[in-house]
Amino acid sequence: MSQGADAALPLGRRLRLLTARPVELAVRILAVALAVFVLLWVLAFADDALAREPRTFIVVFLNGLTLAGLYFLVASGFTLIFGLMRVVNMAHGSLYMLAGFFAFELQQDFISFDPTQGFGPPPVSTLDWVLPLLIACVAVAAIGLVMQQVFLRWNQGQDLRQALITIAISVIIADQAIAHFGGIAEEIAAPAVFPDSVDLHVYGLTYPFFRIFVLLVAIAVGITLWAAIQRTRYGMIVRAGVDDRQMVSALGINIQLVFAGAFFIGALLAGLGGVLGGTMISVDKGNDTQYLLFALIVVIIGGMGSLGGAAIGALALGLVDAFGDVYLPAGYTNYSVLLIFGLLVLVLVVRPLGLFGRPA
């Protein structure tokens, strides 16, 4: 496809050519989104003294960035599973929530066994946080694996049926979670060795350390996944499996093992997101819906099955989410959900398969 000298072409054709270059388009859309935000920001000048401060802008920007990190963790597992198996795991949010609850309960058990406990919140040693994290992640990954082996494996190719199966499982998990964990929002305590906040050295601002930690973990996970998919033999098989499942198995590779592994890792990532999100924000019974929605939006924006798309989508969603809450004109901040909706619509109008989406 020729991509040069298209300035003389009619608009429709230029648009079509443009949509053939997703990266450039992604940049443009992000630019437009940013412009909209700046505009909103300027509008906010008029009536909100707090929003006018550059300090607020920096904090809100960091909030958006760290939220994006969390959203990426959740969505990367979702998109990995879809990309390889064409399974839309509607229970992904449920796995996220379960991991949070598991980790919280485990941590409570660990802390209450501590004989040195006095008044006030007990000190949380690193082990009291890392061990629940690991156990919860592996437990949730195991649940995901069982789900795939027992219910999804023999329905390969029937994507609607598989989606319905995972919806049924999410209904059961949601109800059981309320029965066992109650409906109160809880917070997993971060280990005591983590400082509460870090000095940003700008305007004398400090920022919660854990949120930055989540962002770093998300970046590390993203790089690891990218390297694993692009550089290892397993990743090569996964990429080949995305393109042509039958050919891969015809070459003598046990594709079922690859599927199982991908589902395990996908669920593990949901679990990791759940524990980190539970420490950063809270664990609540509504988390399953919430994070399923976030995962859906991220992959619809970024394109199903694309890791880079998930990163861009998470970034767009996180920033829109954070800025919308603060920078809308006073009295209208509760309409911020419309901004997310607008973002979704904008992307879909230009690219129905998402920024990096490819037809199946």
Which residues of this protein are in contact with other proteins, per CB under 8 A?
86, 88, 90, 151, 158-161, 163-165, 167-169, 171-172, 174-176, 179, 289, 292-293, 296-297, 299-300, 304, 334-338, 340-341, 344-345, 348-349, 352-353
For residue 5 the two structure tokens come to: 């000298």
Residue 284 CB, nearest distance to other proteins (Å)? 14
* Element of type H or E holding 206: strand 206-208
Q: Is the Cβ of residue 34 or residue 172 nearer to other proteins in the bound state?
A: 172
- Nearer to other proteins by Cβ, of 117 and 176: the residue is 176
The residue (of 208 and 324) whose beta carbon lies closer to other proteins is 324
Nearest residue (CB) to other proteins, 237 versus 322: 322
Q: Who contacts 256 (Cβ-Cβ below 8 Å, separation ≥6)?
A: 153
- Residue 175 CB, nearest distance to other proteins (Å)? 4
Q: Which is nearer to other proteins, 32 or 348 (CB)?
A: 348
Of 165 and 316, nearer to other proteins (C-beta) is 165
Smallest separation (angstroms) from other proteins to the CB of 285: 11
Residue 333 CB, shortest distance to other proteins, in Å, is 9
Smallest gap from Cβ 125 to other proteins, in A, equals 37
Cα separation values, 300 from 265, 292, 303, 336, 348, Å: 21, 12, 5, 19, 8
φ and ψ of 281, to 5 deg: -115, -85
Query: Rounded to an integer, what distance in angstroms lies between the CA atom of residue 1 and that of residue 6?
Result: 11
What are the CB-based long-range contacts (under 8 Å, 24+) for 24-30? 25/350, 25/351, 25/355, 26/312, 26/355, 26/356, 29/316, 29/346, 29/347, 29/350, 29/355, 30/312, 30/315, 30/316
State which H helix or E strand residue 128 sits in. Answer: helix 126-147
Do 188 and 103 contact (CB within 8 A), yes or no? yes
CA distance 109 to 59: 35
Give the residue with the Cβ less far from other proteins, 8 or 349: 349
Give the shortest CB-158-to-other proteins separation in angstroms: 7
In angstroms, how far is CA 349 from the centroid of its own chain? 23
Q: How far is the CB of 163 from other proteins (least distance, A)?
A: 6
Q: How far is the CB of 207 from other proteins (least distance, A)?
A: 26
Is 237:122 a contact under the CB 8 Å cutoff? no
Given the complex with other proteins, which of 234 and 341 has the nearer CB atom?
341
Buried b (16+ CB within 10 A) or exposed e, 13-22: eeeeebeeeb
Q: Which is nearer to other proteins, 99 or 353 (CB)?
A: 353
Least distance to other proteins, CB of residue 259, Å: 17
Cβ atoms of residues 278 and 291 within 8 Å:
no
CA distance 105 to 231: 38
Task: Classify the C-alpha dihedral 61-63-69-73 as positive or negative.
Answer: negative
Please tell me the distance from the alpha carbon of residue 92 to that of residue 167, in angstroms, as a whole number: 10
